[in-house]
Chains A and B, each alone.
Chain A
Amino acid sequence: MKVNVDFDLCESNAVCMAVAPETFEVRDDDFLYVLNENPPAEHHEKVREAAERCPKQAITLEDV
């Protein structure tokens, strides 16, 4: 799985971080950082939930 974030859409509200903190982190500079663009299998479910939950639909996932 490859995680893509459209940073033009992202509004740094950290919903994804609440769901999948291993993969997404909003830092004090108010930007979202993807900690791991190719998360391991055990995190896939949370990452999918984060993508679904993102209010801006800024996260897209690719199967690789």
Chain B
Amino acid sequence: MVIGDEPHRPYDRPPLSKEFLTGPYDEDRLLLRPTADPANLDFTLKLGRKAIELDVEQGRVMLDDGEVITYEGLVIATGAQPRRLPASAGAEGASGLHVLRSLDDARSLREDLHPGKRVLVVGAGFIGAEVAASARQMGCEVTLIDLASAPLDRVLDSASGMAIADLHRSNGVDVRLEVALDHVEVDEGGRVKRSVLSSGDVVAIDTVVVGIGVVPNTGWLSGSGLTVDDGVVADETCLAAPRVVVAGDVAKWPNRSFGGRMMRVEQWDNAIDQGGYAGRRIVAAIKGDALATPVEPYAPIPWFWSDQYDRKIQLAGMPTERAELMQGAVADRQFVKAFLDEDDVVQGVLCWNRPRQAVLGRQLVAAGESVAAARERLG
């Protein structure tokens, strides 16, 4: 049985900030398993129902309509939700204010992206940067702001982050860094009209999109006894309790490929991969032999892509402070860069419009290769 609180058939999120906003994808194109007959699945799909409580001892999940589901094994994959602006920003409930996570969010944002509309994007992470690119492609006037000194500060080295800023500037986006949104002013009709930045600058706007990160959906687990700390904490095998596993954006677990570092990965490929692993893991746990016989830990090399304008940006593994260019030139926006640890072992590979190297890079990171091998294979 699969339970989800959205009313929609399961769909793919990445296009929501890309092809769905700019037009080429309609809603049917977002569906996962579009040809599957919802009435004829080999599992029960309960949509539009929210889990509100978990009792790990009894193996029970309570739903918002009062139904109680008992389980032998539970997979927690409740994902994450966008962080909102603080109340002091004065924009709560205003029309023209958006976040982007769900199909409903994307539908309403799409309505607001028309040529000439002035769009402020708060936060230059992946979602913000992609929305800025899509809004620009729709002919909007776009301002992109971030507190950090470079876009994608959390995931990229600053030189690569600045290349993102340049990419947006050369496409006509007004990129402003080291500046925050102080507050938003709303007109009589309740629509956003002006934004005041921490620098004191005032930007006239029709629409604001807030992309300042996500918070794991763990509220319903308070009182469950599970450890929650920026995600549901699990062991190396994604087990959070004897019959509970976690997967996707909500999961936090030690990744042995990176020295057991606690990780929570907000990426599509990991959600698929970890979901599959969690399914196998929970079957092993139910069968009961799992705790006796060791299970291979879940130790992936994370990988994601982001599409902005005509650039495809991919990162395999993790960035570090030490980067070496393997091919191309950052200024040409077509390059491969390797991230190294102190011992020159490759920890991550960043590719701009070089998809093949992203696959090779992931293999290099997985094999624990050194920079010499990377130069040879990626150069």
> Chain A residues in contact with chain B, CB under 8 A?
11-15, 17-18, 26-28, 30, 53, 55, 57
Q: How many residues of B contact A (CB 8 A)?
A: 17
Q: Is B98 an interface residue (CB 8 A)?
A: no
* Closest partner residue, chain B, to A28 (CB atom): B356
Q: Pick the contact of A26 from B12, B303, B355 — CB < 8 Å?
A: B355
Write 12 A-B pairs (CB below 8 A) sorted by A numbering. A11-B312, A12-B355, A13-B305, A13-B314, A14-B355, A14-B356, A18-B303, A26-B359, A30-B355, A53-B269, A55-B12, A55-B268
What are the residues of chain A within 8 A of B356 when measuring CB–CB?
14, 17, 26-28, 30
Q: Is B99 an interface residue (CB 8 A)?
A: no
Q: Count A-B pairs with CB separation below 8 Å.
A: 34
What are the residues of chain B within 8 A of A11 when measuring CB–CB?
307, 312
What are the residues of chain B within 8 A of A57 when measuring CB–CB?
34
B349-379 with Cβ < 8 A to chain A? 353, 355-356, 358-359, 362
B291-341 with Cβ < 8 A to chain A? 303, 305, 307, 312, 314
Main DSSP-derived SS at the A contact region: loop
Q: How far is the CB of A20 from chain B (nearest CB, A)?
A: 11
What are the residues of chain A within 8 A of B359 when measuring CB–CB?
14, 17-18, 26
Q: Is B14 an interface residue (CB 8 A)?
A: yes
* Closest partner residue, chain B, to A52 (CB atom): B272
What are the residues of chain B within 8 A of A26 when measuring CB–CB?
355-356, 359
Pick the 9 closest A-B CB pairs, nearest first. A14-B355, A14-B359, A26-B356, A18-B359, A12-B355, A13-B355, A17-B359, A26-B355, A13-B305
B260-282 with Cβ < 8 A to chain A? 268-269, 272
Q: How far is the CB of A15 from chain B (nearest CB, A)?
A: 7
Inter-subunit contact A53/B362 (CB<8 Å): no
A18 to B34: give the CA distance in the assembly, Å: 24
A49 to B307: give the CA distance in the assembly, Å: 23
* Closest partner residue, chain B, to A9 (CB atom): B29
What are the residues of chain A within 8 A of B268 when measuring CB–CB?
55
Contacts beyond the supplied A14-B355, A57-B34: 17 A-B pairs with Cβ under 8 Å: A11-B307, A12-B312, A13-B355, A14-B356, A14-B359, A15-B269, A17-B356, A17-B359, A18-B303, A18-B362, A26-B355, A28-B356, A30-B355, A30-B356, A53-B269, A55-B12, A55-B14
Inter-subunit contact B358/A14 (CB<8 Å): yes
Q: How far is the CB of B313 from chain A (nearest CB, A)?
A: 11
A27 to B312: give the CA distance in the assembly, Å: 15
A53 to B312: give the CA distance in the assembly, Å: 18
What are the residues of chain A within 8 A of B14 when measuring CB–CB?
55
A13 to B312: give the CA distance in the assembly, Å: 8
Q: How far is the CB of A50 from chain B (nearest CB, A)?
A: 12
Q: How far is the CB of A51 from chain B (nearest CB, A)?
A: 12
What are the residues of chain B within 8 A of A15 when measuring CB–CB?
269
Q: How far is the CB of A58 from chain B (nearest CB, A)?
A: 12
> When each residue 124-145 of chain B gets 1 if its CB lies under 8 Å from chain A and 0 otherwise, what string results?
0000000000000000000000
